[in-house]
Amino acid sequence: MPATTGSGFTCGVQLQRTAGGDGRSPAPLPLTGTTELPESLGYRLKTKLLGPPLVTEQLGEQRLGKVAALGVLSPDCISSTAYGPEEMLRILVPAVGVAAFSLLLPVTLAVIVVLFFVTLSYREVVMAYQKTGGSYMVARENFGPRVAQVAAAALIIDYSVTVAVQVAAGTSAVASAIPALGRYSVELSVLVVLLMAYGNLRGLREASRVFAIPTYLFIVTMGAMVVVGIVRAALGRLAVHSIHAHGAVTEVGHRPDVGLLMGASVFVLLKSFANGGSSLTGLEAISNGVSAFRPPSGPNARRTLVVMSATLGSLVVGVSVLARLTHAVPYISGYPTVVSQEARYVFGHGAVGSVLYVLVIVANVAILYTGGNTSFNGFPFLASFVAQDSFLPRWLTKRGHRLAFSNGILVLTVIGIALLVASGSNVDSLVAVYAIGVFTGFTMAGAGMVRYHRRTRQPGWQHRQVINGFAAVLTAAVVVIFAITKFTQGAWIVVVLFPILVFWFIRINHRYRREEAVLAAGVGRASEAPPLRRHVVILLVDRLDLATVSAVRYARSLVPEALRVVHYRIDPLQSRQLEQAWRGRGLSRLPLEILDCPDRRIGRSVLGLVDAYLDGETLVSVLLPRRDFSGVASRFLHDRTADRIAVLLSEVRDVRAIIVPFELTERGARRRLARAAARTAAADQAGLAAVGGEPVGTGGDGGPSHPAPPTLPGCTPIADLHYRQRARVAGQVKSVEIQPRDGIQVLSARLEDGSGGLTLVFGRRPEGIEPSARIVAEGMVGEFEGALAMRNPEFEFLARPTDEPGS
């Protein structure tokens, strides 16, 4: 038979209970965490790069005070000071020259007005919704999951572009201080994104207080620069510089300097205002992190939001004022930045001034890169929420090696790098696709809160409704302004991408709903249906080797009423060799059927073979040995016929296709298992597995660390329990099972303490008895299904099962 085993059929390494030394009863498997199981090369490499895996119990949530929260949650928002005013000048200067600096402050004040109303709107959001999710959560709760996908698309675009914008701006700050690095802007930015991804894959948490350092350093240094600059200007010691410098934006489309507003159309002003809207990015960070605040979370988040907005507004106005006083002008290359020029003009070139200048640049670089890193926390969490609602692939909900949403991190890394490469790490090129997503999120949050107020009608809901409604209308107008004024400069990408993303999300949801409907249809009837009366096993073989022998052993263990070993004759010589080997290896007691397959369509032949048994009372299991080869190159040397046959059979009722894998590296795996078993036996003899002993460590391959329960007075090690003994034990629940008995749902929980295991049996399901819960139980030791057990014991929790933060 053939090709059925292309990549071959196989039976992998199986761990089975073996007879004890006295031959009377099975020896128990080693306790979880004490045996070093063989690990793949890929897993060992991942452990070396990322560190040992974290167990779910270590998933925690760090609560922050207002001071720490401001530093941790606001880098993305406050750091926009570094490029917001510069983006406004980038539109105005080429249009009206020096007059741009007179227009800069009015445009800045217009942006501050929008900031004011958005802040008022989000003050209501953080009080009403105190879990992670931001505008997506608000839209979902008030408009339903489908409409919420507009917010989801906006936030996904926002987070994706935030990485690129923040990193590109940080790299421009680096190049401002070290111009020689400017030619390597793209490479440096990509390297930074890769380092961010690596750190987050290792479990770097945004809530770490270390992220507050760049924020406060930036606030202090920028505040000092603004104050010193204004004082020097008041004393007449701050010079005005020429805007006509080599590489400045005045070289592009510059008109002769004219009076205020002459040459500056309303369209130009709106474009400048739209660019300045990038200063408001990151304002939603507080609403996304309300659950990280210490109680009372809502009021603390609201106060922090106000302080963050006030700080942002003050710094943006300060940078604009200094630009007005010094005529710092944007450059085509993106460096030196406006902030870099202002710092040099304010502090001068002396020794002290140079030190202060470096501090400003360091603070800018630190907060911009930190602001980019916030997306590596926000994007994976948002993607997991949307995926939980079945609007994104569900593999985005899975936590990885270090409890981070690894798949979301990798997706964001790819998108961020693609944007940086496509834009040449240029902030101005990225801003065009930036603020539409940001302000759409603001609009959805404001509109959702209007619906919330009308639905809940809490005290004062009328004026709160007006605040949120006006903010929604205002930010929607900004979205329209941005889409029109920046359409030809890249905004068209977002305008086109938005409906595509929303449509794609809804299609994914339709697909999941259809699949769930199919899987759920008739579950009750199917679960109550009587088992089929007969079981027939058909084993397909192509040649005789270890993979086939393992499959034969497995087939016999199923104890079917009929077992057929079938080989399809494709190559006459190969069939004769198989027949001879079958007799010569002592397998003649198990008949080998050789069937003709003239058209070599094995899949259709197998369908015809099983059709004879489909009488409604027979279950047919078709075993397909498959040889699994290590190494990517080996996959190109073997086909996957077994998988294709399994797909065909999966569509036939009462037929089960079972692939029996055989790993060709089994010998090495057995050697490692033997070494691990020897180490386990030595550890048991030394008594290291007892309660109160040393924690169960990671294996040599960096397996997860499961800490042993603490020693508790009055507790008996489970290994020392005896039948009909009243005892008190402490341990961790490893598994739970619900079994129907006499019409009652009986819950049995496996409790382990490092020395042995005990079954706890409850006539009802107690709250909190879940895998990973640590409990102390007391009761009479009896028997349940042939094992020691306690029925309905008294218990108390040492630690409840871990809940994921923000869920």
Residue 747 and residue 640 share a domain: no
Q: Could you write out the three-class secondary structure of 299-330? A: HHHHHHHHHHHHHHHHHHHHHHHHHHHHCCCC
Residue 252 and residue 132 share a domain: yes
Q: Is the pLDDT of residue 9 over 60?
A: no
Residue 127 and residue 227 share a domain: yes
Beta-bridge mates of residue 9: none
Looking at residue 764, its amino acid is R
Of 162-171, 396-405, 439-448, give the lowest mean pLDDT range: 396-405
User: Alpha carbon 300 to chain centroid distance?
Assistant: 27
Q: Is the pTM of this model over 0.95?
A: no
Question: How far, CA to CA in Å, does 733 sit from each of 537, 686, 740?
Answer: 38, 25, 20
Looking at residue 154, its amino acid is A
Residue 141 in domain: yes
| pLDDT at residue 783 in the model | 87
What pLDDT digit, counting tens, does each position of 356-385 carry? Answer: 999 999 999 999 998 888 888 788 888 888
Higher pLDDT, 805 or 400: 400
HSE toward the beta carbon, residue 291, CA cutoff 13 A: 12
What pLDDT digit, counting tens, does each position of 200-223 carry? Answer: 887 655 445 677 888 899 999 999
CA-CA distance, 108 to 99, in Å (whole number)?
A: 15
What pLDDT digit, counting tens, does each position of 698-722 carry? Answer: 343 444 444 444 457 788 888 888 8
Residue 697 and residue 586 share a domain: no
Residue 759 and residue 646 share a domain: no
| pLDDT at residue 50 in the model | 66
Antiparallel, parallel or unpaired: β 618-628 and 655-663: parallel
Residue 685 and residue 631 share a domain: no
DSSP secondary-structure letter at 709?
P
What pLDDT digit, counting tens, does each position of 262-278 carry? Answer: 445 788 888 888 888 87
Residue 487 in domain: yes
In this structure, what is the dihedral angle of CA atoms 571, 576, 580, 582, given to the nearest 10 degrees?
50
Place of tokens 């029109």: 484
Residue 159 in domain: yes
CA-CA distance, 380 to 204, in Å (whole number)?
A: 13
3-state secondary structure of 284: coil
What pLDDT digit, counting tens, does each position of 757-799 carry? Answer: 899 998 877 888 887 788 999 999 998 877 889 999 999 888 7
Candidate ranges 83-92, 331-340, 411-420; pick with highest mean pLDDT: 411-420
Residue 35 in domain: no
CA-CA distance, 726 to 333, in Å (whole number)?
A: 79
What pLDDT digit, counting tens, does each position of 146-186 carry? Answer: 888 888 888 888 888 889 988 998 998 999 889 888 889 99
Residue 301 and residue 232 share a domain: yes
* Dihedral sign of CA atoms 444, 450, 453, 459 in order: positive
CA-CA distance, 342 to 324, in Å (whole number)?
A: 10
Q: Which has the closest alpha carbon to 697: 20, 52, 62?
A: 52
Of the residues 452, 484, 509, which one is the last residue of a structural domain? 509
Residue 789 and residue 717 share a domain: yes
3-state secondary structure of 512: helix
Q: Give first-to-last CA distance, the chain, whole Å.
A: 52
| pLDDT at residue 414 in the model | 93
Q: Could you write out the three-class secondary structure of 58-100? A: HCCCCCECHHHHHHHHCHHHHHHHHCHHHHHHHHHHHHHHHHH
Tell me the pLDDT band of 801, cut-offs 50, 70 and 90.
low
CA-CA distance, 577 to 569, in Å (whole number)?
A: 11
Antiparallel, parallel or unpaired: β 562-569 and 534-540: parallel
Judge contact between 26 and 20, C-beta under 8 A: yes
Looking at 733-797, list the stretches that DSSP marks H as alpha helix, in order from N- to C-terminal side. none
CA-CA distance, 700 to 680, in Å (whole number)?
A: 13
Tell me the pLDDT band of 56, cut-offs 50, 70 and 90.
low
Judge contact between 505 and 149, C-beta under 8 A: yes
Judge contact between 339 and 315, C-beta under 8 A: no
| pLDDT at residue 1 in the model | 42
- For residue 264, how many other CB atoms are within 10 A of its CB? 22
| pLDDT at residue 694 in the model | 37
Place of tokens 């496996």: 750
Helices (H) and strands (E) in the chain, counts: 26, 11
Quote the percentage of the chain above a pLDDT of 70: 78
CATH of the domain at 291: 1.20.1740.10
Question: How far, CA to CA in Å, does 247 sit from each of 118, 329, 411, 420?
Answer: 36, 10, 36, 22
Residue 21 in domain: no
CA-CA distance, 323 to 84, in Å (whole number)?
A: 12
Residue 90 and residue 122 share a domain: yes
| pLDDT at residue 251 in the model | 53
Tell me the pLDDT band of 63, cut-offs 50, 70 and 90.
low
CA-CA distance, 373 to 404, in Å (whole number)?
A: 14
Residue 400 and residue 303 share a domain: yes
Residue 751 and residue 680 share a domain: yes
Tell me the pLDDT band of 51, cut-offs 50, 70 and 90.
low
Residue 9 in domain: no
What pLDDT digit, counting tens, does each position of 308-326 carry? Answer: 999 999 999 999 999 999 9
Residue 57 in domain: no
Over residues 417-423, mean pLDDT: 90
| pLDDT at residue 221 in the model | 93
What pLDDT digit, counting tens, does each position of 628-670 carry? Answer: 766 555 566 566 778 888 888 888 888 988 888 877 654 545 5
Place of tokens 């802007």: 185
Of the residues 606, 639, 659, which one is the last residue of a structural domain? 659
Range of the domain at 568: 543-659
Residue 477 in domain: yes
| pLDDT at residue 545 in the model | 83
| pLDDT at residue 222 in the model | 92
Number of domains, the chain: 3
Residue 686 and residue 646 share a domain: no
